[in-house]
Chain A
Amino acid sequence: MTTTLRPEALHVPESGLATEARAATVVWQREMIRFVKDRSRILSSLAQPLLFLFVLGTGLGSLLNSSAGGSVGFTTFLFPGVMAISVLFTAAFAGISIVWDREFGFLREMLVAPVSTASILVGKALGGATVATLQCLVLLALAGLVGVPYDPLMLLAMIGLIFLMGFMITSLGLVLAARVRQVQSAMPLVQLVITPLMFLSGALFPLSGLPTWLAVLTHVNPMTYAVEPLRSVVFDHLDVDAATRARFDPGIVWGTWPVPVGVQILITLACCVLLLALAVWRFRRTE
């Protein structure tokens, strides 16, 4: 056999932005391959948000409806929150899944390549964000059932915000995964971190009239700043009076300063960068 097993022309190029981008892209592609293959996961991870939305939402809604006014039901309020919960679990799982990559050795294949750890983790975070967004598309399709209009601009804005949130939470998952050696401890760790983030984010109740301790906790939770823009976008496209909006979507108020949505998004962006940088740092040190 005289095939050219080692042609000299096929040497590996020097590092550069293009090489790094290719590495990140292929890591992202792998996440997509896994997502498509794992159909059972897609279905099972939809169950939880649907339960939240229609069971918890309807149940608690019946309690509130008598006093709440207008066309806005509790399920409408809950809609963006449930979206956030879905992202939280999907993305955190996507991030922590790197523990399995380590267990099965594939992380090594990725980390010995002549590209930076950052590119690998960016690929992972983009993958987690994409998977979380794709999951949410199914939920978004149900918007009409809870009185949210199918406004193209609103849907686009929501998709963008969901993607950003997904990136942030996947990065958080990566930070957590950096030191986890045992797959058995991965899921409990995720639960331990994700559950408080969920409850303290304003996903399940409006952030107004809270006792100080709870208000402080919600304000230091980065998830809060990712959830509120989502709700704000939804309410921008609802036909509600100011009082109802103030009741269901009071926004985030630091002392007396209502934090603008733009600032909230900036905070989320900053969290994305910080968490990813932290993950890179931790992976460089441990691997």
Chain B
Amino acid sequence: MDAPAVAVRGLVKRYGNVEAVRGIDLEVARGETFGFLGPNGAGKSTTINILCTLVEPTEGHAEVVGLDVVRDRAAVRRRIGLVFQDPTLDAPMSGEQNLRFHQELYGVDRRRAPARREEVLRMVGLWERRGDEVRTYSGGMRRRLEIARGLLHSPQVLFLDEPTIGLDPQTRGTIWDYVAELHRNDRDLGREEITVFVTTHYMDEAEHCDRIAIMNEGRIVALDTPDALKAQVGADRVTITTDDDEAAQRTLRTELGLDPAVREGAVTIAVPDGAGFVPRLFDRLGAHGVAIRSVTVTRPSLDDVFLAHTGTTIRDAEAGPSMHPTAMRMRR
């Protein structure tokens, strides 16, 4: 059996008296898309940088595809692809020149290098613009080029540190499409799937991951599949507006044994499977002559998960005092 894509034991990183990472344990299986979620300053980038051999841990142990990130630095680097939080492209060079530079730096087989460049450039839709200087690319194009570059040397693990930061929703979606495509492609060819380790602080994006870890103040506070995490925090909410809220409430209580709440002219019911419950709801209320005007089913969001585990919403956490100087600088 292959070693896991990422294995981390008791990882600690201190910068002076700032404890960026406070003892985390983690295992990511091969082929997994693993999400790292947390507010600014949580320690996501620090963890990624340790895994990419850029930063040495103060304590603990980390392995990537079975190789120690401190002892086998070069070996780890050969097997990983990287997209950093901050851009690392050379603006005066063209898109293709940036890729060629990378291939030479990584010693990619020269005979196959041009074909490979074309593949990744086509994948991210930059083939037509390959000859233009990166200076003339939009933010989204630059990000896509960086992802293409991270894939050039066929890494086993791809690290993406906030690949979608500052991008419009559509481009963000595209980037997740690439990730899905990579997996599909590997499956089609019957190969070991690439492992994708991605950080984000957009809650909705975490839905694309097989598993996610929520990190807060240097610790992992929750780790599971998105659905399991949401199930932990509670049931779906079904909110209805009706002709007669009183009657609706009564019916739900007596007929279905539920405990609805009436608030701001709407009836809210907590049920495990909201979508599956709606037909039954219509049926019962209809039988008692209550007309339903609207229905909304709300699944617990990862925001709720985050709130449950950290006591704040991710937005509050972002706006709060943890907006540390480093983060401000990086976000400039």
Known: A10-B108, A108-B88. A15 touches B93 (CB 8 A): no
- Interface size, chain A (Cβ < 8 Å): 38
- B97 CB contact (under 8 Å) in A6, A11, A33, A112: A33
**Which residues from chain A contact B182 at a C-beta distance below 8 Å?**
5-6
Complex-state Cα separation, A200 to B119, whole angstroms = 56
Among B16-24, B184-192, B249-257, B262-270, the one that faces the other chain is: B184-192
**Which residues from chain A contact B78 at a C-beta distance below 8 Å?**
11-14, 114
**Which residues from chain A contact B189 at a C-beta distance below 8 Å?**
2, 4
Complex-state Cα separation, A37 to B78, whole angstroms = 32
Known: A10-B154, A30-B93, A114-B74. A5 touches B108 (CB 8 A): no
Min distance, Cβ B148 to any Cβ of chain A, angstroms: 10
**Which residues from chain B contact A12 at a C-beta distance below 8 Å?**
78-79, 106-108, 153
Among A20-28, A53-61, A151-159, the one that faces the other chain is: A20-28
Annotate B175-206 by CB proximity to A: 1 below 8 A, 0 otherwise. 00000011001101101001000000000000
- A255 contacts the other chain (CB 8 A): no
Annotate B118-129 by CB proximity to A: 1 below 8 A, 0 otherwise. 011011000000
Complex-state Cα separation, A160 to B52, whole angstroms = 41
**Which residues from chain B contact A3 at a C-beta distance below 8 Å?**
119, 122-123, 185
Q: Across the interface, do B88 and A9 meet the contact criterion of CB distance under 8 Å?
A: no
Complex-state Cα separation, A63 to B91, whole angstroms = 50
Complex-state Cα separation, A12 to B250, whole angstroms = 68
- B30 contacts the other chain (CB 8 A): no
- B116 contacts the other chain (CB 8 A): yes
Q: Across the interface, do B181 and A37 meet the contact criterion of CB distance under 8 Å?
A: no
Complex-state Cα separation, A165 to B321, whole angstroms = 52
**CB-CB nearest in chain A for B82:** A112
- A105 contacts the other chain (CB 8 A): yes
Complex-state Cα separation, A37 to B97, whole angstroms = 14
Q: Across the interface, do B82 and A22 meet the contact criterion of CB distance under 8 Å?
A: no
- A34 contacts the other chain (CB 8 A): yes
Known: A5-B185, A6-B186. A115 touches B112 (CB 8 A): no
Q: How large is the interface on B (under 10, 10 to 19, 20 to 34, 35 or more residues)?
A: 35 or more
- B77 CB contact (under 8 Å) in A5, A18, A29, A114: A114
Known: A10-B108, A15-B74. A112 touches B86 (CB 8 A): no
- A267 contacts the other chain (CB 8 A): no
Min distance, Cβ A157 to any Cβ of chain B, angstroms: 33
Q: Across the interface, do B154 and A23 meet the contact criterion of CB distance under 8 Å?
A: no
**Which residues from chain A contact B77 at a C-beta distance below 8 Å?**
112-114
Annotate A81-106 by CB proximity to B: 1 below 8 A, 0 otherwise. 00000000000000000000100111
Q: Across the interface, do A33 and B93 meet the contact criterion of CB distance under 8 Å?
A: yes
**Which residues from chain B contact A26 at a C-beta distance below 8 Å?**
100-101, 104-105
Min distance, Cβ A94 to any Cβ of chain B, angstroms: 15
- A19 contacts the other chain (CB 8 A): yes
**Which residues from chain A contact B74 at a C-beta distance below 8 Å?**
15, 114
- A7 contacts the other chain (CB 8 A): yes
Known: A5-B120, A30-B101. A37 touches B154 (CB 8 A): no
Complex-state Cα separation, A114 to B84, whole angstroms = 16
**Which residues from chain A contact B112 at a C-beta distance below 8 Å?**
7, 9-10
**CB-CB nearest in chain A for B81:** A6
Known: A109-B102, A112-B54. A6 touches B88 (CB 8 A): no
Known: A30-B101, A33-B93, A112-B54. A6 touches B87 (CB 8 A): no
- A8 contacts the other chain (CB 8 A): yes
Complex-state Cα separation, A1 to B82, whole angstroms = 24
**CB-CB nearest in chain B for A30:** B101
**CB-CB nearest in chain B for A18:** B107
Complex-state Cα separation, A115 to B154, whole angstroms = 17
- A143 contacts the other chain (CB 8 A): no
Complex-state Cα separation, A58 to B52, whole angstroms = 59
- Of A5, A11, A19, chain B has the most CB atoms within 10 Å of the CB of A5
- A46 contacts the other chain (CB 8 A): no
Annotate B240-251 by CB proximity to A: 1 below 8 A, 0 otherwise. 000000000000
Please give me the 9 A-B residue pairs with the lowest Cβ-Cβ distance, nearest first.
A26-B104, A105-B88, A114-B77, A12-B78, A19-B107, A113-B105, A109-B88, A10-B154, A114-B78
- Write 18 A-B pairs (CB below 8 A) sorted by A numbering: A1-B181, A2-B188, A2-B189, A7-B116, A8-B191, A9-B112, A10-B108, A10-B112, A10-B153, A12-B153, A105-B84, A105-B88, A109-B88, A109-B89, A110-B105, A112-B53, A113-B106, A115-B107
Please list the residues of chain B having a beta carbon within 8 angstroms of any beta carbon in chain A.
52-54, 74-75, 77-79, 82, 84, 86-93, 97, 100-102, 104-109, 112, 116, 119-120, 122-123, 151, 153-154, 181-182, 185-186, 188-189, 191, 194
Please list the residues of chain A having a beta carbon within 8 angstroms of any beta carbon in chain B.
1-15, 18-19, 22-23, 25-27, 29-30, 33-34, 37, 101, 104-106, 108-110, 112-115
